[in-house]
Amino acid sequence: MYTQAMDIPDDSGKKLAAVSNAPSEQEAAFEARIDADGRIEPQDWMPEAYRKTLVRQISQHAHSEIVGMLPEGNWISRAPSLKRKAILIAKVQDEGGHGLYLYSAAETLGTSRDQMLEGLHSGKAKYSSIFNYPTLNWADVGVIGWLVDGAAIMNQVPLCRCSYGPYARAMVRVCKEESFHQRQGYEALLVMMKGTDEQRAMVQDAVNRYWWKCLAMFGPPDADSPHSAQGMRWGIKRISNDDLRQKFIDATVPQAKVLGVTLPDPALKWNEARGHYDYGQIDWAEFWNTVEGNGPCNKERLATRVKAHNDGQWVRDAAQAYARKQKERALKEAA
Least distance (Å) from another protein to the CB of residue 245? 31
Least distance (Å) from another protein to the CB of residue 304? 15
Q: Which is nearer to another protein, 27 or 177 (CB)?
A: 177
Least distance (Å) from another protein to the CB of residue 223? 38
Q: Which is nearer to another protein, 159 or 207 (CB)?
A: 159
Q: H-type helices in 2-81, by residue range?
A: 12-19, 25-35, 48-67, 69-73
Q: Please list, in sequence order, all residues whose beta carbon lies within 8 angstroms of the beta carbon of residue 267, skipping any fewer than 6 positions away.
A: 278, 279, 280, 281
Q: Report the alpha-carbon distance of residue 323 to residue 58 in Å, rounded.
A: 30
Q: Which is nearer to another protein, 194 or 299 (CB)?
A: 299
Q: Report the alpha-carbon distance of residue 96 to residue 331 in Å, rounded.
A: 36
Q: Which is nearer to another protein, 85 or 121 (CB)?
A: 121
Annotate 194-209 with b (16+ C-beta within 10 A) or e (fewer).
Answer: eeeeebbebbbbbbeb
Q: Which is nearer to another protein, 13 or 97 (CB)?
A: 97
Q: Indicate the residue type of 330.
A: A
CA atoms within 13 A on the CB side of 269: 6
Least distance (Å) from another protein to the CB of residue 44? 5
Q: Which residues bind another protein (CB under 8 A)?
A: 1-6, 41, 43-45, 90, 93-94, 97, 100-101, 104, 107, 112-114, 117-118, 121-122, 170, 173, 177, 306, 309, 313, 316-317, 319-320, 322-323, 326-327
Q: Please list, in sequence order, all residues whose beta carbon lies within 8 angstroms of the beta carbon of residue 21, skipping any fewer than 6 positions away.
A: none
Element (H, E) at 277: strand 276-278
Least distance (Å) from another protein to the CB of residue 48? 17
Least distance (Å) from another protein to the CB of residue 161? 19
Cα–Cα distances (Å) from 319 to 261, 324, 325, in that order, read 50, 9, 10
Q: Report the alpha-carbon distance of residue 79 to residue 84 in Å, rounded.
A: 6
Q: Please list, in sequence order, all residues whose beta carbon lies within 8 angstroms of the beta carbon of residue 196, skipping any fewer than 6 positions away.
A: none
First to last CA, the chain: 36
Q: Which is nearer to another protein, 52 or 121 (CB)?
A: 121
Q: Which is nearer to another protein, 276 or 309 (CB)?
A: 309
Q: Which is nearer to another protein, 227 or 316 (CB)?
A: 316
Q: Report the alpha-carbon distance of residue 183 to residue 177 in Å, rounded.
A: 11
DSSP state, residue 292: I
Least distance (Å) from another protein to the CB of residue 7? 10
Least distance (Å) from another protein to the CB of residue 316? 4
